[in-house]
Amino acid sequence: MTQPLRDPNHVTAGGLHGIFPLPAGRTLDICLKLHTAILEHRLAPGVKLSEDEVGEIYGASRTVVRAALQALAHSGMVTIEKNRGAFVARPSIREAHEVFEARALIEPRIARMAATTASEADLRGLQAHIDAEHEAIAAGDMGKALSLSGLFHTAIADISDHQVLANMVRSLISRSSLIIALYWKRPDTACESHSHHALMKAFAERDATAAEEIQKSHIIDLHSGLNLTERPHHDGSLKDILADT
């Protein structure tokens, strides 16, 4: 009988658990809310997250907000600067390369494992994920579509049943969301969802080798879809946000 990797009262809700080893509570709530806001590109890289401000929004004291921000810093989504505060992270070009190199190493292995462990219910869940993604694209909600695209990868990680690697993947995907916000070439391209379909097919056929290779080339595609030759256009400061008007 296998025992859980961490304590059971470490939340398992929402599907994006695991990166935050926090007991359930308001701290975890704030983590999750900020996390999804970043994943949906409603919080741009570089935006300042003042403790007082966040605390007022969510009705919590600075103590709990601080803990949440530090947790987010550990997962790489937030940068904390001494005596200056917390900001939504702004991954460098170098970090962008490294994150996608790491994904290209880990995720194909994850896909291989998931291909053998996926249940029928898992496959239906993945398909529902793809459908929701299409729906969001049709509705023009690009933030949500991108978020779901990432969540598809984390769902595979969950299916693989390798919690250590799955947590790494989750962290990498969260950072990828920031990287895409900063460096994505074609803002309105339908996000490679045909790769996701191909993966689904490999899973359905229990073809582990195919799943591994599809995932690898998919991530290399994503990597090459980035413009990593120049500094990002806007850096999150108010000046740059309003520069277009």
Binding residues for DNA, rule: CB under 7 A, are: 23, 25-27, 48-52, 60-64, 66-67, 80, 82-86
Q: Tell the smallest beta-carbon distance from residue 56 to a copy of itself (Å).
A: 21
Strands (E), 16-128: 48-49, 78-81, 85-88
AA identity, residue 201: K
Beta-carbon contacts of 25 under 8 Å, excluding residues fewer than 6 positions away, are 64
Closer to a copy of itself by Cβ: residue 43 or 77: 77
| 187 token code pair | 């803002």
Q: What residues make contact with a copy of itself under the rule CB under 8 A?
A: 2-7, 9, 21-25, 66-67, 70-71, 73-76, 79-83, 92-95, 98-99, 101-102, 105-106, 109, 162-165, 168, 172
Instruction: Yes or no: say if 90 and 236 are a contact pair by the CB < 8 Å rule.
Output: yes
| 56 token code pair | 């007022």
Q: Among a copy of itself, DNA, none, what does residue 51 contact (CB within 5–8 Å per kind)?
A: DNA
Q: Among a copy of itself, DNA, none, what does residue 16 contact (CB within 5–8 Å per kind)?
A: none
Closer to a copy of itself by Cβ: residue 148 or 172: 172
Nearest CA-CA partner of 173 in 193, 157, 190: 157
Q: Tell the smallest beta-carbon distance from residue 48 to DNA (Å).
A: 7
Closer to a copy of itself by Cβ: residue 70 or 127: 70
Q: Tell the smallest beta-carbon distance from residue 94 to DNA (Å).
A: 23
| 33 token code pair | 């809310």
Q: Among a copy of itself, DNA, none, what does residue 109 contact (CB within 5–8 Å per kind)?
A: a copy of itself
Closer to DNA by Cβ: residue 83 or 189: 83
Q: Among DNA, a copy of itself, none, what does residue 125 contact (CB within 5–8 Å per kind)?
A: none
CA angle 204, 127, 99 (to 5 degrees): 90
Neighbouring CB atoms inside 10 A of 121's CB total 9
C-alpha dihedral sign at 23, 28, 31, 33:
positive
Q: Tell the smallest beta-carbon distance from residue 100 to a copy of itself (Å).
A: 9
Q: Among a copy of itself, DNA, none, what does residue 99 contact (CB within 5–8 Å per kind)?
A: a copy of itself
| 228 token code pair | 């990593």
Q: Among DNA, a copy of itself, none, what does residue 142 contact (CB within 5–8 Å per kind)?
A: none
CA 206 to chain centre: 26
Taking the CA atoms of residue 107, residue 98, residue 137 and residue 235 in that order, the dihedral angle to the nearest 10 degrees is: 160
